[in-house]
Structure 1
């Protein structure tokens, strides 16, 4: 018998912002034709805990994890701002902070971020693509840069996770990082970004996930499942989600929204309704792991 999950949910990936603060210029690009993420105009407005609670009202969300949102200037400023926000509904009770990994001041920023009890990790971005319009970084070898790797090693010494955005092109580099730092918990964002949706690109993505999943210190978030899949269907999302789970197992996979960025493709209800339909083929203990228990463990909730 198939059971649709109705238990508690922890959303391990979403963002908040107040545009009046002027800290998120990427949401208001001067040239919208040159950006790695099309459709930003749909989300270029304030998004605060009350907005998140409204969108999540049907899904028994008991806690959430805020992921750094490319805050301009001192990234610790974002953490300080998050500390001022209402926590009564469990929104943003843990943070993955920002730090300019590989830059001169990164070690001091990491140390300052680690001083906040709610900070459980720092996000790094390695997402380079042969098409410059799809790049988040300009250096395809950034993950092998000595200064970048020095700062990632510092995360391990502070007991912080490395939250990682990557494309399939970086799979071998990510495997190297995980192997070199076996005590570092790495959490891959957004299904490992199956960005190239043709047969060759999807095979590259499948092979990349299989490679990095061999490292026991890597986990994956099945988040923003409609990204790069503009004509998404339940079956196309199922295909991606089940490959993630096939690679990492139900003990190293988590469902997350990436709201409000993911609203460019899917509503909040569509995201979790789709996840629940996909997860119905798993037993109730596995469903609880995917929706709640793994996030509770990885983000120390």
Structure 2
């Protein structure tokens, strides 16, 4: 069985997630009552059993305000105990004056590899996360963003189509920082015009050699595991970025709302059946191993 790296998954304790507490409010991925519980690493390992996944990358899960350091410490403790995950992408508020101190504390974790600050903004309030569409353009954000290069950390960029021009400009302004576009740019508008705009935005991003992308969360807006939908996005994205700048991630347990882990693995493998073996291995394993420096972990 070919080795696979899951470059995007979560584990959590409900007690640490404000968004999992209290009344259920509209979310980008729809109804989520099934997620309002603990999702420990042991359940993740049960979910991936038999799928060929050999390593994984944890991506931040929006702990309570001011808990950015505790989140990294908790994930590191899980990794020390269970051997999974093998890399951590933390949260840092790059608008904050405290960002350098937060990064300094997070750097004590040997698994730290990068940061995600969710910047996605949409005219649809249900899809909106950031307070404004241009947060990446502020002086504070860019000053703190520059610190990533000093640490050798990457940045996970989460934006919608309308923000891709700014995302491309950010990558161009910081050629020494690696960026990974979340969820293949979240193509939520499936109309012909929406797809055209997404494709043009992706082309702008792909023009920057330090920009990569991730095949994850592709069921978010259709709320199902649709192999043809995934194949379409994967095919178009590979043409723009090339396999050496693409990685795969499960987005579990979010995708567990509508499917199982093995089915997601089956869908990405199906989407890659017609590509050369070297490209297939790059998407499923090699690119993630390089980006997240997974050869440095056991």
Which residue is 1:229 aligned to?
A: 222
Map 1:1-301 → 2, pairs under 5 A: 6-19=1-14, 22-28=15-21, 30-33=23-26, 35-72=27-64, 73-86=66-79, 90-230=83-223, 233-301=226-294
Structure with the larger helix share: 2
Runs (4+) off by over 4 Å = 86-90
Count of matched residue pairs: 293
**In the aligned structure 1, how far is the partner of 2:272 from the partner of 2:81?**
29
Given the superposition, is the C-alpha separation of residues 46 and 268 from structure 1 closer, same or farther in structure 2, using an over 3 Å criterion?
Answer: same
Aligned-pair CA distance for 1:86: 4.7
**In the aligned structure 2, how far is the partner of 1:106 from the partner of 1:255?**
29
Aligned-pair CA distance for 1:136: 0.7
Q: Is the 8 A contact 1:125 1:164 kept in 2?
A: yes
Structure 2 regions of 5+ residues with no counterpart? none
2:131 match: secondary structure: coil
* Higher mean displacement: 195-204 or 270-279: 195-204
2:223 match: secondary structure: coil
Given the superposition, is the C-alpha separation of residues 116 and 231 from structure 1 closer, same or farther in structure 2, using an over 3 Å criterion?
Answer: closer
Q: Is the 8 A contact 1:127 1:135 kept in 2?
A: yes
Q: Is the 8 A contact 2:51 2:265 kept in 1?
A: yes
Q: Is the 8 A contact 1:62 1:89 kept in 2?
A: no
Cα deviations by residue, 1:65-96 (Å, 9 ceiling, x for unpaired): 00011111320101111122155765211100
Q: Is the 8 A contact 1:183 1:217 kept in 2?
A: yes
1:126 match: secondary structure: coil
2:117 match: secondary structure: strand
Which residue is 1:3 aligned to?
A: none
**In the aligned structure 2, how far is the partner of 1:9 from the partner of 1:208?**
28
Cα deviations by residue, 1:256-286 (Å, 9 ceiling, x for unpaired): 1010012223321111000111111112221
RMSD of aligned C-alpha atoms? Answer: 1.6
